[in-house]
Each structure stands twice: as C-alpha cells, then as structure tokens.
C-alpha cells in the first residue's frame, strides 16, 4: 500500500505501492536526485530525455511527502498575488513568471499525452471571491494586476458553487489532475527507458569535494555523481533556508457529490488563512475537494480542531453524499513569496527546489524548466528570478525576522513549559505528550496495549522541542518543520536522523 507522511489517508493514496525500485548495481551517475515527489520525478524524466544519467533516491516510496497529500491544483497565479510580485520584483519579473507558468502547464499536458498517463486531467477556471467587505480591496488589486499582465480575468456575478460572496473574478487557464497517478505514469516511462530508482533507503553519509558528490545509503552502498538535487522541500542539515522557509500544515476533506457538477471549477475566498475548494471528476464520479484552516507546523496543540472546524464550514456551505477522505499535509512558504529553485548558494554542483507555498504542482513541475538548463551551464531570466541566492531585503526581511523569532521562542520557552505528570498511567491510549520523568524531558506516546514509546523530545536538527500532532499522530518540530512518527522515525526533514529512543525504567 502506498504510504505518506501522515496517519490519515489522502484521496490519492493507491491501495498498492508504486513498486518501481530498480535496485541497480550501478553506483556512478551524472546527477543524483533526492526526493521522489513531483519535483524529483518530473526532473529525473526531463534530465533522462536530455541524455543525463540519473539516480532517483527516496527514503520511503514515491509520493510519500506533499505530492501524496496535495489538492492538485495547477494554477497560473499564486499565493503571492501578482500585484505583490510586481511590487517586490517589478512588472517584467511578473510577466516572465506568468509566461513561464503558462509554459509549465503546457509542459504537464505534453507529458500526459506523450506518456499516455491516465490521471483525471482536466482544464477549468478559477473563481476568486471576497466573502466580506474587508476583502474587496485585495480582490480589486488582484484583478488590476491580472489586467496589467494580460492574464485573462473577468468580473462575474455568479460562481459555480452555492456559496455566498460579495464580489468575484473568474481566472481562465487552470488545470487539475490525480497527482499520484501522474507521477506513477512518469516513473513508468523513466524506468522503462533505463532510469534508476532506489526507495526505502536513508542517506547515512554525504560529501561534496572537488566537484564530486558522494552519497552513502543505509544499505552501505556508496553512490557518486557530478551533480546533486535536493527535491526534499527544505534542504537537510543546517543552512540559511532554516530562516528563509516557514513550514505550514493545511487540512483537506474529499466529499462524494450527490449529483454531477455541470462544469469543473476551482474557487477560494480571501480569508487568512483562506478556504479553497474544487470539483474533481474520476471514473468513480464527481467529488468536492475542500481545504483550509492552515497553521504553522507544530504551533497548534489541538490539530483535530482544525479538521472539526473545516468540516463545520463544509456542512454550512455544501451538500454531499458521503465523506471519502480527510488528511493534512505540509508545505513551505518562502520569505519573499517566490520559490527557491536553482543552485544552492556556494555549491555550484548542488541544486534545490523548495518554498512552493500552496502551489506545489505548478512550481514542482517548473523546476524541470530551470534546473536542467543550469546543469548544462545556461542561466535564464526565470532561473535568475527564482535563484536561491537572490537577496530581496524589502520583500523578505520581515518574514525572516518572524521565522527567526518563532524558532528562538520555541527553542527557549518549550524547555521551560514541559507538562509535569506524576504517573504515566494517567495518559490515555494513542496519545502523545511532552513530559518530565525522573529528570528527563521525554516525548512519550502510549500505544493501544498500554505500553509506552519514549523518545528524546529534542529535534536533532536545531535543538527545538517537538510538539504532538494528535490528528496525524506524529511529533512535529515547530521551528523548521521536521516530523517524526511515534517510533521516532523521521517523516520530514530538514532533520537527517530520527528522535532517539530512551529508557524510562
């Protein structure tokens, strides 16, 4: 069964694992890509098409991370609105991004046709609306910027969802699909043409000396390459992106509709955080996918309440036949609103792609229009715009200060506010707590049989105290988004190791 980095199953998880691991004896490659989500898989296939010998490596199965938990919007506009991009980067940069976005959507369509991928792909429009008077001005700024850039956008009096609104705009040119079926199709083509894929292997050692990459995996194999791509959201270890990226979680429901929808469409309001939703059509019928109530990872004690609040909002606004799935997923927001795609600072043969916000399907695919050119030595206007080395003080200084302050707050105060309990037997089953026991700070989870999993509560990345996420049954770091299961195994980086086990006897 395909797994992902959470307790709750998403709408996209197949009943069977994507078993394409080649277990190749070949150890030398042109490029190693770490992370088999949409970024890594699309990039591996694109590089293969250009004659580059690649190894695709993942600690779990393809789609384990955010790709298996996305809502699969493919949009030509972003969480950072175009008027904000114009203000921060200039009109020409915004025009370049829009043109590249259109090219990216066409690129996804070409991949689907070229490889005959059955992934429920469809084109539709997006309806963005103000739900209250205070949102009108923002909607007007978004509309004006779209007119300035030539993005087909219209003021409308109706939207294809039975939901109240004040003002609305219709944005043409959106798409959507089944994300894990899409990456499965790309992987099939990649493997069929000789591509190497290694799964369920953790990197135990890494070096980059004299322009040569060395990666050792948990099975003691040593792989070498000329180039390395971190397609893992925040790059592992300690680096500047610990303070330039903020981890967030979003909550999602999929609902089977009672009746077929007349048209496919996507929509969102302008609350902060906003509610977003779309119709989805598959062989099984019509569905509604609804998300929202996002928050900083590790900053909420009662994560189940976010599911409850989203469900209440859904019940107030939509009619449906049955609840099919609900899950939460993690994404990273960059300091200035645009992703970091390109060369790692001061490492000419190491590349990264992260900071997608809620636009991972588009930016994750766009990485394949940027990184292959950089590996070939060709910079472009787009690669310069999204370069991880860029410095935009006016756009990012407030965000950087906020994230740094958040990390410091958790590093200090979490160690002073440990919950003290006298008897572990008082803990309910299937619950996790940070407790102080016999002078040790522990992350303790109580199993169904009453036994305890006892872990060091300190995240091995930067020393922050992890927090219990009851809805996903995971330990989440509030500083930089590392996540661990109840046994301490790492689910998400940037930590490179899990939480160590402790003995409380």
Of 36, 80, 73, nearest to 357 (Cα)? 80
What is the rounded CA–CA span in Å between residue 120 and residue 327? 20
Segment (H or E) for 435: strand 431-437
Which stretch of 136-145, 149-158, 230-239, 439-448 has the lowest confidence by average pLDDT?
A: 439-448
pLDDT digits (tens, 9 = 90+) for 256-293: 998 888 899 999 999 998 999 999 999 889 999 999 99
CA separation for the pair 6, 303 (Å, rounded):
13
Pairing of strands 222-230, 28-34: parallel
Residue with tokens 């700024």: 141
More confident residue, 502 or 104: 104
pLDDT, tens only, 309-360: 999 999 999 999 999 999 999 999 998 999 999 999 988 899 999 999 999 9
- Across-strand partners of 253? 290, 326
Q: List beta partners, residue 252.
A: 291, 327
Residue 156 has pLDDT above 60, yes or no: yes
Inter-residue contact 245 to 334 (CB < 8 Å): yes
In the prediction, which pLDDT does 2 show?
79
Give the DSSP letter string of 247-294. EEEEEEEEEE-SS--SS-EEEE---SSPPEEEEEEETTEEEEEEEEEE
pTM: 0.86
Query: What angle (nearest 5°) sits at the alpha carbon of residue 10, between those of residues 477 and 324?
Result: 135
Of 157-161, 402-406, 439-443, 478-482, highest mean pLDDT: 157-161
Residue 393 has pLDDT above 60, yes or no: no
- Does a cis peptide bond (omega within 30 degrees of 0) precede residue 189? no
Distance CA 5, CA 8 (A): 9
408 band by pLDDT with thresholds 50, 70 and 90:
very low
Q: Provide the pLDDT confidence category of residue 445 given band limits of 50, 70 and 90.
A: confident
Average pLDDT for the chain: 89
Q: DSSP readout, 22-43?
A: ---S--EEEEEEE--SHHHHHH
Radius of gyration of the chain (CA): 22
Residues present in the chain in total: 505
Encoded tokens for 410: 């958790």
Please name the residue that has the structure tokens 């990872």.
297
**Predicted pLDDT at 77:** 97
Residue 289 has which token pair?
A: 């996918």
- DSSP secondary structure letters along 332-396: EEESSSS-EEEEETTEEEEEEEE-BTT-HHHHHHHGGGTHHHHHTT---HHHHHT-TT---HHHH
Question: 94 is written with which tokens?
Answer: 């915004």
In tens, the pLDDT along 470-502 reads 888 888 888 888 888 888 888 888 888 888 887
Q: Tens digits of per-residue pLDDT, 195-211?
A: 999 999 999 999 999 99
pLDDT at 401 over 50: no
pLDDT at 419: 44
Instruction: Using pLDDT thresholds of 50, 70 and 90, give the confidence band for residue 414.
Output: very low
- Omega of the bond leading into 494 within 30 degrees of 0 (cis): yes
Beta carbons of 199 and 41 less than 8 angstroms apart? no
Residue 505's pLDDT is: 52
Name the nearest CA neighbour of 89 among 161, 145, 170. 145
**Could you read off the pLDDT of 122-146 as tens digits, one per residue?**
999 999 999 999 999 999 999 999 9
The 10 Å CB-count burial string (b at 16+, else e) for 376-402 is eeeeeebbebbbbebeeeebbeebbee
* pLDDT (mean) for 429-439: 78
């Amino acid at each position: 069964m395909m797994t992902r980095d959470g307790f709750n199953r998403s709408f996209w998880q197949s009943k069977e694992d994507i078993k394409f691991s080649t277990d190749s004896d070949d150890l030398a490659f042109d490029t190693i890509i770490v992370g088999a989500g949409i970024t890594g898989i699309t990039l591996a296939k694109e590089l293969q098409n250009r004659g580059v010998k690649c190894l695709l490596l993942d600690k779990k199965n393809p789609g384990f991370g955010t790709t298996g938990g996305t809502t699969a919007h493919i949009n030509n506009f972003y969480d950072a609105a175009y008027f904000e991009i114009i203000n921060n980067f200039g009109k020409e940069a915004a025009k370049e991004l829009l043109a590249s976005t259109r090219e990216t959507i066409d690129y996804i369509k070409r991949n689907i046709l070229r490889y005959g991928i059955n992934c429920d792909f469809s084109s539709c429009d997006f309806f963005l609306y103000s739900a209250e008077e205070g949102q009108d001005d923002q909607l007007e700024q978004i509309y004006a910027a779209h007119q300035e850039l030539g993005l087909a956008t219209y003021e409308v009096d109706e939207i294809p969802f039975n939901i109240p609104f004040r003002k609305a705009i219709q944005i043409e040119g959106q798409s959507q699909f089944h994300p894990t079926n899409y990456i499965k199709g790309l992987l099939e083509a990649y493997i069929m043409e000789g591509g190497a894929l290694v799964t369920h292997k953790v990197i135990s050692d890494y070096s980059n000396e004299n322009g040569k990459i060395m990666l050792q995996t948990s099975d003691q194999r040593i792989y070498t390459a000329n180039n390395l791509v971190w397609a893992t959201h925040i790059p592992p270890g300690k680096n500047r992106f610990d303070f330039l990226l903020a981890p967030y979680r979003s909550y999602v429901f999929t609902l089977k509709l009672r009746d077929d929808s007349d048209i496919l469409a996507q929509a969102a309001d302008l609350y902060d955080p906003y509610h977003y939703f779309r119709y989805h059509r598959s062989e099984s019928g019509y569905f509604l996918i609804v998300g929202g109530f996002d928050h900083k990872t590790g900053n909420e004690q009662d994560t189940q309440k976010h599911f409850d609040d989203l469900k209440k909002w859904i019940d107030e606004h939509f009619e449906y036949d049955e609840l099919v799935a609900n899950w939460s997923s993690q994404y990273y927001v960059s300091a200035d609103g645009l992703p970091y795609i390109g060369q790692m600072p001061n490492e000419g043969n190491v590349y990264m792609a992260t900071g997608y916000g809620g636009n991972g399907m588009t930016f994750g695919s766009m990485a394949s229009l940027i990184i292959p050119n950089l590996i070939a030595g060709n910079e472009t206007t787009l690669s310069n715009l999204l370069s991880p080395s860029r410095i935009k003080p006016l756009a990012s200084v407030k965000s950087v200060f906020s994230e740094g302050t958040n990390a410091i707050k958790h590093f200090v105060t979490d160690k002073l506010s440990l919950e003290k309990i006298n008897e572990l037997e008082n803990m309910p089953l299937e619950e996790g707590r940070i407790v102080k026991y016999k002078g040790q700070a522990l992350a303790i989870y109580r199993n169904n049989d009453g036994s305890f999993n006892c872990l060091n509560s300190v995240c091995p990345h930067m020393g922050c105290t992890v927090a219990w996420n009851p809805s996903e049954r995971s330990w989440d770091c509030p500083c930089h988004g590392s996540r661990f299961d109840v046994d301490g195994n790492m689910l998400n980086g940037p930590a490179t190791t899990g939480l160590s086990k402790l003995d409380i006897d």
